[in-house]
Amino acid sequence: MEERVIMAGFGGQGVMAMGQLLTYAGMLENKHVSWLPSYGPEMRGGTANCSVVVSTAEVGSPVVVNPTTAIVMNKPSLDKFESSIVKGGKLFINSSLVDRKSDRKDIEVYYIPANEIANQLGNMRVANMVMLGAYVEVSKTVSLESILQGFTKVFGEDKAHLLPLNKQALEKGAEVVKRQLASTV
């Protein structure tokens, strides 16, 4: 198994945090991992993306050119990475901020209203966790438990009080794709 993921959005949307959590969860499950961040010229509001590889074999390169999955938080990220996903891959779109559908017919596409769900939970900053929950539910690359276990390692003990809210966000993301998958059967 080798999962090559691009996570992309505006700076400040938690794209790097998503990547770090997925990478750390893979480490906890004794998988081979890499995480490579890429920032635009500005930190907040500029473009940001990261490449994550989670594999049962050694990772040859942290650079992801043809991702098996892309998680896009905004329209510029969809425009940039949609065409690079391998045939049969997966695309997760934050439908709260992206006003168009995917043009691809040869990949699985999931539309997640991440910002709306985060708003319902009372904190817009967990939209990234909604997206990550959706991804973990579909891909099974790592377990949700490993993501939660890695939370304080990535964010520090002083953020442990945010774990219940983030767990809710992850679960809500998983619920959205479960409903989408059930409606296609």
pLDDT one-digit tens code per residue, 100-116: 999 999 999 999 999 99
pTM of the model: 0.94
In the predicted structure, residue 184 carries a pLDDT above the cut 80: no
Mean pLDDT, rounded, of the chain: 94
Per-residue pLDDT tens over the stretch 123-145: 999 999 999 999 999 999 999 99
Spell out the domain ranges in the chain: 2-183
Report d(CA 143, CA 133) in Å as an integer.
10
Burial class (CB in 10 A: 0-12, 13-18, 19+), 119: middle
Domain covering 2-183 in this structure, CATH number: 3.40.920.10
